[in-house]
Structure 1
């Protein structure tokens, strides 16, 4: 049994690619959304907060179905995007969107809480020194919660490794194209190929343990 065999290599490469892009987008948009939601409550913030939190409280397969209707070739967003040659459903882009949305709450909510708990004295001192809101956020607030940021990003990464429900609906579970490690395990287990499913479980488990180890190290770091 070789690691270069397509049944193992293809899902592994796709999962690593999706996880890498998910980590990047969580770092960019997750932190920005957390900053936007922090501070004084506002009706618009509440609406955004609801959409971010939905993947936690709503069944993934049901959320995936709603996204399928929205982003499909005849969907409100999918139809115009298709005119520009952008395929989301049953394509790697759909898998990426599923991974991003599934882990987003685990990135945004802890960072938002950490920002809300920051002492306002630091922000006010920065404003007195002539720094703007963005400079204060980038140079004062972010460094003070760097531990929470990295922990949240790795939590989101761990969630992306195990995403199935939304991915199944948006990606379509196409063998060799959109089947991630988790979906490949499901496929082999369903077809009775227990040995292959166990190998995939071991590989995915190794990545999960790596993420867990990083989180524990951050938890005990001063």
Structure 2
């Protein structure tokens, strides 16, 4: 039974850290893009959203080129004792990269939906830009951001290709749920694979239902459907 819970707990740890990283970076970048009026804005958004549409193995290859021992940043990280390839931290990096667009798209839409007159009124009253963000913009966009965060968690929990490329499949160390399912199917352990599939599916369904409930406009849609 311990072999069942090890990949589950590892996946939850990886997904939690990946979601945290994706949330911090995604909200910051989304807020900046919502304030940036430029013809290049959509291009930057498209580039940052690439991990959502690229094959996961391609994203994993890019990460290896960047973080591998012979990659662009690999030697610099190695000199400082930081090793990401074939570690659970590397799995976090891979999962956060593929989950980042979920937060970015949801947060940007939420910030664009904020009434900017409220932000301007706060600025006129002498509130600093940082305080305007934390006291006005972020609370008003919180519901949409949280929906994106839940989607990012579900995406990070089910990540396979990029994680396998960067972290490998080391039981107890880097073998997440999705990788454990793949290994179980390859080994013919159908009962083990079925249990992991059910756990993963149930967790993702809960996250998706919460995200749908929290999505901007969801309450208005429910009221419209319930009204005669």
Match of 1:136 among 132, 153, 158: 132
SS at match of 2:35: coil
Task: State which drifts further: 49-58 or 70-79.
Answer: 49-58
Q: CA deviation at 1:50?
A: 4.1
Give the Cα–Cα distance (whole angstroms) in 2 for the partners of residues 203 and 187 of structure 1.
16
Structure 1 partner of 2:105: 109
- TM normalised by structure 1 equals 0.91
Structure 2 partner of 1:70: 66
Q: CA deviation at 1:46?
A: 5.7
**Once superposed, what is the RMSD of the aligned Cα atoms?**
1.9
SS at match of 2:175: coil
Q: Does residue 197 in structure 1 map to residue 168 in structure 2?
A: no
Q: Decide whether the 8 Å contact of 2:147 with 2:212 is kept in 1.
A: no
Q: Which runs of 5+ in 2 are unaligned?
A: 221-228
Q: CA deviation at 1:84?
A: 1.2
Q: Which runs of 5+ in 1 are unaligned?
A: none
Q: CA deviation at 1:195?
A: 1.0
Structure 2 partner of 1:53: 49
Question: 1:175-194 to 2 correspondence within 5 Å?
Answer: 175-194=171-190
Structure 2 partner of 1:166: 162
Give the Cα–Cα distance (whole angstroms) in 2 for the partners of residues 110 and 129 of structure 1.
29
Pair 1:44–1:86, CA change in 2 (3 A)? farther
Give the Cα–Cα distance (whole angstroms) in 2 for the partners of residues 102 and 45 of structure 1.
20
- TM normalised by structure 2 equals 0.88
Q: Does residue 33 in structure 1 map to residue 29 in structure 2?
A: yes
Give the Cα–Cα distance (whole angstroms) in 1 for the partners of residues 212 and 92 of structure 2.
27
Q: CA deviation at 1:209?
A: 2.2
Structure 1 partner of 2:225: none
Q: Which runs of 4+ in 1 moved over 6 A?
A: none
SS at match of 1:15: helix
Structure 2 partner of 1:80: 76
